[in-house]
Amino acid sequence: MIGLPSEPGAVVLHIEDNPSNRKVVRHILRSTSYYLLEAVDGEAGLAMAREEKPDLVLLDMQLPGMSGYEVAAALKADSSTRGITVIAVTASALSGDDARVLDAGCDDYLAKPFRPNDLRQRLADHLPDSPE
C-alpha cells in the first residue's frame, strides 16, 4: 500500500478461527475500500469490537470457546456496540440456522461456501463502498 486512501473506507472486523478462511476474506476485501480487522476467536473479537467500534462484524458462528451466537448476543446487549452490523457466516444452510442466527441478534447471514461476489454483495448491502 502506498499512501493513505483519501477517504477512509468502512471498517470490517472478521472473527474467524480458521486461517484459510481468514486468508480468503482478506484476499476478497483487497479489491474493496473496506479496512479489515481480524480476530481469531470470540473473546478476542468481542474485545476488539468494543475497542475499535467497526462498522460491521463478519462473524463465524463456529468458534472455539465463546461461540458466534454468544458474541452476537453480547454485541447486541451492549449499547456501545449494538449499532454494529453483524453478518453471521454459517457453516451450513440447514433449515433453522437462519432463524437461529437472527434470534442471536445477527442482522444478516452468509452461508459457507460463498463466492467472492456473494461476500462483496452482502457487505455492499450494509456498507458504503468506493472501489478504486
Give strand pairing partners of 109. Answer: 88
Cell of 104: 442471536
Query: What backbone phi and psi angles, to 5 degrees, belong to 55?
Result: -75, -30
Our CB check for Mn ion shows the closer of 55 and 60 to be 60
Instruction: Give the alpha-carbon dihedral of 64, 17, 123, 79, to 10 degrees.
Output: 50
Output the smallest distance, CB 4 to Mn ion, in A: 32
Query: What backbone phi and psi angles, to 5 degrees, belong to 32?
Result: -125, 175
Query: Using CB under 5 A as the criterion, which residues of the chain lie in contact with Mn ion when the complex forms?
Result: 17, 60, 62
Our CB check for Mn ion shows the closer of 62 and 81 to be 62
Output the smallest distance, CB 41 to Mn ion, in A: 9
Our CB check for Mn ion shows the closer of 29 and 63 to be 63
Our CB check for Mn ion shows the closer of 36 and 61 to be 61
Residues 6 or more apart whose CB falls under 8 angstroms from that of 63 comprise 15, 16, 17, 41, 42, 45, 71
CB atoms under 10 Å from CB of 103, counted, come to 11
Output the smallest distance, CB 68 to Mn ion, in A: 8
Output the smallest distance, CB 110 to Mn ion, in A: 14
Q: Which residue is nearest to Mn ion (CB)?
A: 62
